[in-house]
């Protein structure tokens, strides 16, 4: 371990998961991405990402379902740290330790969140003093939703999801997430969306004004009525059991339900914390999901926390 006195101390960053309140998929672009209009909300399921100088590059990941998470250079957090490192022209390998509670491969941006956290942590460790705008530019090189995980809160994403504008959202919204082991690849879900749409021309999407006023009102019933995901039909077409999970949640009293991003996590909006506890218990009892977790949004994006002592 590199331990010269002047070495910077390790830095830990806490980063939230996201849910898409609205995900409108536009036409396929020449670069292989779809133009999007999406409304992201950050929710308090977190990963903690610690960066520390070391003799070699490396990555350690802990938490449920993390066996499938790569620890080599294909890990998005590693790519993020290397991106900043190479950009600045350093020769200082980093070890990244990721403690995951965001569902792995769940459509809640767990990998993107770790990349966002690694950028924020390296910026602090190396005292680079990058602005949020500069960090978000690096983030956009790593993935469409990485910039949002730096910013947090509630925001509209356009372009391929990486161009952000803030949204006024009043109050807190209570969520229940049904997390399953069914594998779903994001590119496959987009491709299925294209297949289901056929050859009809697809318009450029724009955020719905009804959703914006529901967010301003802070009323979960109004928001529930506006939850929209153009990828939902594609995800259910590939994994019909997701339709059953959605039905169960609604029968058990959710105000609204939606496949989260490209799935397979299903997100339910509920009235308050008591309703969240009730729905969590009811859905857990059905056994249709591997795990059921409640959360609140919006919360802050990636931010430095005191170092972990475990």
Residues 9-38 interacting with ligand C5P (rule: CB under 6 A): 33-34, 36
Of 115, 118, 111, nearest in space to 141 by CA: 115
Residues 35-74 interacting with ligand C5P (rule: CB under 6 A): 36
The residue range among 62-70, 94-102, 137-145, 279-287 that interacts with ligand C5P, by the rule CB under 6 A, is 137-145
Taking the least distance from each CB to ligand C5P, the nearer of 33 and 57 is 33
Question: Binding residue per annotation — 108?
Answer: yes
Q: Could you tell me the two tokens for 174?
A: 């209570």
The residue range among 182-190, 217-225, 244-252, 298-306 that interacts with ligand C5P, by the rule CB under 6 A, is 182-190
Taking the least distance from each CB to ligand C5P, the nearer of 235 and 292 is 235
10 Å CB burial of residue 87 (0-12, 13-18, 19+) is: exposed
Question: Binding residue per annotation — 263?
Answer: no
Give the CA-trace dihedral at 208, 211, 213, 218, to 10 degrees: -170
Of 179, 178, 142, nearest in space to 65 by CA: 179
Question: Binding residue per annotation — 112?
Answer: yes
Among 161, 207, 220, 263, binds ligand C5P (CB under 6 A): 161
* C-alpha–C-alpha distance, residues 258 and 23, integer Å: 10
Tell me if 174 contacts ligand C5P by CB under 6 A: no
Q: Which residues contact 195 (CB under 8 A, 6 or more apart)?
A: 234
The C-alpha R_g of the chain, in whole angstroms, comes to: 19
Sequence-ordered strand ranges (E) for the chain: 11-28, 34-53, 58-62, 94-100, 154-158, 163-166, 173-179, 228-229, 256-259, 266-270, 291-297, 303-305
Taking the least distance from each CB to ligand C5P, the nearer of 114 and 145 is 145
> Shortest distance, CB of residue 51 to ligand C5P, whole angstroms?
21
The residue range among 45-53, 185-193, 210-218, 293-301 that interacts with ligand C5P, by the rule CB under 6 A, is 185-193
Tell me if 148 contacts ligand C5P by CB under 6 A: no
Residues 80, 95 contacting (CB under 8 angstroms): no
Tell me if 190 contacts ligand C5P by CB under 6 A: yes
Q: Could you tell me the two tokens for 3?
A: 């331990």
In angstroms, what CA-CA distances link 242 with 81, 148, 224, 245, 302? Answer: 35, 26, 18, 5, 30
Describe the strand order of the beta sheet including 291-297 as a list of residue ranges: 256-259, 266-270, 173-179, 291-297
Residues 73-132 interacting with ligand C5P (rule: CB under 6 A): none
Question: Binding residue per annotation — 157?
Answer: no
Among 187, 240, 287, 306, binds ligand C5P (CB under 6 A): 187
Among 37, 144, 248, 265, binds ligand C5P (CB under 6 A): 144
> Shortest distance, CB of residue 172 to ligand C5P, whole angstroms?
27
* Residue 52 CB neighbours (<10 A): 20
Question: Binding residue per annotation — 183?
Answer: no
Return the active site residues: 18, 145
> Shortest distance, CB of residue 249 to ligand C5P, whole angstroms?
26
Binding site for ATP: residue ranges?
Answer: 103-113
Q: Which residues bind ligand C5P (CB under 6 A)?
A: 33-34, 36, 143-145, 160-161, 186-187, 190
């Amino acid at each position: 371990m590199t331990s010269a006195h002047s070495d910077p101390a390790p830095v830990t960053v806490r980063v939230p998961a996201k849910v898409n309140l609205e995900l409108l998929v536009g036409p396929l672009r020449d670069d292989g991405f779809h133009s999007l209009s999406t409304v992201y909300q950050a929710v308090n399921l977190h990963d903690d990402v610690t960066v520390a100088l070391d003799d070699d590059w490396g990555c350690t990941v802990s938490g449920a379902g993390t066996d499938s998470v790569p620890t080599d250079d294909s890990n998005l957090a590693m790519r993020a740290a290397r991106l900043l490192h190479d950009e600045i022209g350093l020769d200082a390998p980093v070890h990244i330790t990721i403690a995951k509670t965001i569902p792995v491969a769940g459509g809640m941006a767990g990998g993107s969140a770790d990349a966002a956290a690694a950028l924020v942590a390296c910026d602090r460790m190396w005292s680079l003093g990058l602005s949020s705008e500069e960090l978000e530019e690096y983030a956009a090189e790593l993935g469409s939703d990485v910039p949002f995980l730096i910013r947090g809160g509630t925001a509209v994403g356009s372009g391929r999801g990486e161009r952000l504008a803030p949204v006024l959202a009043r109050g807190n919204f209570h969520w229940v997430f049904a997390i399953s082991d069914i594998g779903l690849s994001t590119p496959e879900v987009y491709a299925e969306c294209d297949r289901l749409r056929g050859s009809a021309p697809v318009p450029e999407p724009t955020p719905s004004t009804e959703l914006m006023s529901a967010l301003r009102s802070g009323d979960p019933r109004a928001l529930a009525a506006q939850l929209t995901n153009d990828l939902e039909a594609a995800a259910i077409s590939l994994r019909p059991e997701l339709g059953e999970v959605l039905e169960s949640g609604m029968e058990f009293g959710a105000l609204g339900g939606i496949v989260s991003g490209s799935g397979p996590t299903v997100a339910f909006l509920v009235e308050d914390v008591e309703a969240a506890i009730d729905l969590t218990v009811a859905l857990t009892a059905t056994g249709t999901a591997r795990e059921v977790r409640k959360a609140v949004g919006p919360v802050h994006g990636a931010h430095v926390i005191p170092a972990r002592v475990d």
